[in-house]
């Protein structure tokens, strides 16, 4: 999660699938979103898009993950990473802040500003939580872990408490570095987060409904 890479910000799928009714989502995050050491088809955005289409949902998910990105780095590239026409963002940042021991106040401020800017653009947000490693100490963990539920509650965001839920302690679902999921690990993430993504899509659909 601390190796730099260029973001891939492009709508996936054929031109026909990018019609007006298609819901356009940007997966905005770090290497966990980008798909570190995985083929593009196995990365989180691609697997999620495939799962949603399997349920008959017309969706295009852009991969705006950058390996090594912090919340502050994400804020710096937000405006050009989330193009016009985006309906929703899956926000997954903070793991690298935690690994580097960055002050949780800095992480909170950056994520708050990202959310503020997206809401100002009327873009729906699904916030993915992260948890601090125990070796960072109880005080750090308390401050860091609180960022996500508090930010979600204060802004009325759809919230998925822990992006790595179900895989973090399973060596079979993680690469040899113990931090990045394998293709099978990503599949578990997709399966578990899917209901929250469907809630996100439901909000977009409500917004699209003609007002009386």
Catalytic residue annotation: 31, 177, 180
d(CA 32, CA 44): 8
Query: Half-sphere exposure of 209 toward its Cβ, with a 13 Å CA cutoff?
Result: 7
d(CA 162, CA 122): 25
Cβ distance 71 to 111 under 8 Å?
Answer: yes
Beta bridge pairs of residue 26: 62, 89
The two counts, helices (H) then strands (E), for the chain are 7, 5
Entry field: residues in the chain:
212
Backbone angles phi, psi at 160, to 5 degrees: -110, 110
**CB neighbourhood size of 19 (10 A):** 10
Q: How far is CA 107 from CA 33, 85, 116, 133, 209, in A?
A: 18, 27, 14, 16, 35
């Amino acid at each position: 999660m601390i190796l730099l890479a260029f973001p891939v910000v492009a709508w996936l799928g054929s031109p026909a699938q990018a019609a007006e009714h298609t819901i356009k989502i940007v997966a905005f995050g770090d290497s966990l979103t980008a798909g570190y050491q995985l083929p593009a088809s196995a990365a989180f955005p691609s697997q999620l898009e495939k799962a949603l289409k399997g349920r008959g949902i017309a969706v295009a998910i852009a991969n705006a993950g950058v390996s090594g990105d912090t919340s502050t780095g994400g804020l710096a590239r937000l405006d050009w990473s989330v193009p016009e026409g985006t309906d929703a963002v899956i926000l997954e940042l903070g793991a690298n802040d935690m690994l580097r021991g960055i002050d949780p106040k800095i992480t909170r401020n950056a994520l708050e500003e990202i959310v503020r800017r997206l809401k100002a653009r009327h873009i729906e947000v699904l916030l993915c939580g992260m948890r601090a490693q125990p070796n960072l100490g109880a005080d750090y963990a308390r401050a860091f872990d609180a960022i996500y539920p508090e930010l979600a509650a204060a802004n009325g965001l759809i919230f998925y408490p822990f992006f790595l839920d179900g895989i973090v302690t399973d060596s079979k679902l993680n690469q040899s570095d113990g931090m990045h999921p394998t293709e099978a690990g990503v599949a578990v993430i997709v399966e578990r987060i899917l209901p929250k993504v469907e809630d996100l899509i439901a909000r977009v659909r409500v917004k699209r409904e003609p007002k009386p």
